[in-house]
Amino acid sequence: MKPFLAICRLLRKLNGFSVKPSSLVTFSTSSYLGGQKKKSSYEAVDEAKYSRLVRSVLSKASAQTPESLFKEDEILYGPVSKHKAPEQEQQVRVPQNWFPLFNEERNVKPHTSASSGPLKIPLQRNVIPSVTRILQQTMTPEQRSFLEKWKQRMVLELGEDGFAEYTSNIFLQGKQFHETLENILSLEENFKGREEHLQCGFIKSVQHILNEISDVQALESAVHHKALKYVGLLDCVAEYQGKLCVIDWKTSEKPKPFIRSTYDNPLQVVAYIGAVNHDAHYSFQVRCGLIVVAYKDGSPAHPHFMDEELCSKYWAKWLLRLEEYTEKQKVQKLD
């Protein structure tokens, strides 16, 4: 320690500076002790400049907001593709001219007994549009495109004449199916014991549905909604599992286990329900609907029951289609 202090005093005399001895001096046996220590690259950094840079970055980071982060992401990676839930993609439309589906002034149960025979009011041909026409004239572009592609595919497979024959046979099968059901459900003919009907695949398909139907009130009967100005010809009004329904019979070559597979059929059913409830020819009120999809191969038909809540939802959609049809007619008259 004495030699080290002597050296310090000597250096102070020669150069005019002082070196304070450390309170703790350690010695190492490392081979680097005798050599000059190599400078690290970090020692050459301007510490003042670096500290200002750090403070600048930290101050900016603290001022970041979700909006500024989204803007930076958009610049770096492009705009964000925003996908909304299906029910939020389109704004919910509300009918401008609301009319109630149900008629609270009427009883649910019919005043007259079905023993007098179901109603069969003939359809009067006039200028009032039918439910079928309104739905056809207000199909969405997607529906039109689907039908057009289906027609093109069928024409390609069958040819023009073959496609015409195919559509004619489909229409004939549907007509015969409805006529047979009308005979079965009317009081003129008892379904039990009439095995010849079971030879028809469509009738075999709906047999389990027929067993659930009772108290038929109307068959192939016309309806007229005077307030909303449309007419229609419903298939059947009867009780299904104890609930009075407007029943619509459909045929299909493909299975339709879900109501969404029936396209505009629910709108057709609620249009008939609304007309029945406000048509003076009918003394009762209907609050439910039923779509029955029958199959030619005889496989069990799919029944799609529509309760009051579901009917009310489709009624709002029907009113929108009715308004759309009215607007189109006004535009055509102006043209």
Confirm if 322 and 225 have CB atoms less than 8 A apart.
no
pLDDT at 113: 52
Confidence category of residue 199, pLDDT binned at 50, 70, 90 = low
* Contact assessment for residue 216 and residue 237, using Cβ atoms and an 8 Å cutoff: yes
Higher pLDDT, 29 or 112: 112
Is 149 exposed, middle or buried (CB count within 10 Å of its CB: 0-12, 13-18, 19+)? Answer: exposed
Q: Which comes out higher in pLDDT, residue 328 or 45?
A: 328
For the residues of 281-325, what is the DSSP string, one character each? T--S---EEEEEEEETT-PPPEEEEE-HHHHHHHHHHHHHHHHHH
The candidate with the shortest Cα–Cα distance to 235, out of 174, 314, 157, 144, is 174
Are the C-beta atoms of residues 248 and 269 closer than 8 Å to each other?
A: yes
> Pick the residue with more confidence: 53 or 224?
224
Give the residue-averaged pLDDT of 199-222: 93
Q: How confident is the model at residue 92 (pLDDT cuts 50, 70, 90)?
A: confident
Which residues neighbour 271 within 8 Å (Cβ) at sequence distance 6 or greater?
131, 134, 225, 230, 232, 318
CB atoms within 10 A of CB 279: 19
Judged against a pLDDT cut of 80, whether residue 273 lies above it is answered with yes
d(CA 273, CA 178) in angstroms, rounded, equals: 19
Q: What confidence score (pLDDT) does residue 242 get? A: 94
On the question of pLDDT at 118 being above 50, the answer is: yes
pLDDT score of 108 more than 90: no
Catalytic residues: 235, 248, 250
**What residue type is 157 in one-letter code?**
E
Tokens 């069928």 found at = 154
The mean pLDDT value of the chain amounts to 78
Pairwise pLDDT comparison (95 vs 29), residue with the higher score: 95
Output DSSP code: residue 126.
Answer: S
Query: Which of 22-26, 34-38, 111-115, 266-270 has the largest mean confidence?
Result: 266-270
Give me the sign of the Cα torsion angle 204, 206, 210, 216: negative
Most confident of 140-154, 170-184, 283-297: 283-297
* 109 closest CA partner among 247, 281, 237, 272: 237
Amino acid 166: pLDDT: 86
Instruction: Give me the pLDDT at residue 114, please.
Output: 52
186 in the Ramachandran plot: left (φ > 0), alpha (ψ -120 to 50) or beta?
beta
All structural domains of the chain: 101-334 (3.90.320)
Q: Of the given ranges (37-51, 253-267, 278-292), which has the lowest mean pLDDT?
A: 37-51
Phi/psi of residue 246, nearest 5 degrees: -85, 120
Q: pLDDT tens-digit profile of 10-61?
A: 445 545 444 444 444 444 444 444 445 455 454 555 556 555 554 544 444 4
Q: Is residue 279 within 8 Å of residue 223, measured between CB atoms?
A: yes
Highest mean pLDDT among 49-53, 158-162, 323-327: 323-327
User: With 70 as the cut, is the pLDDT of residue 293 above it?
Assistant: yes
Radius of gyration of the chain measured on its C-alpha atoms: 42
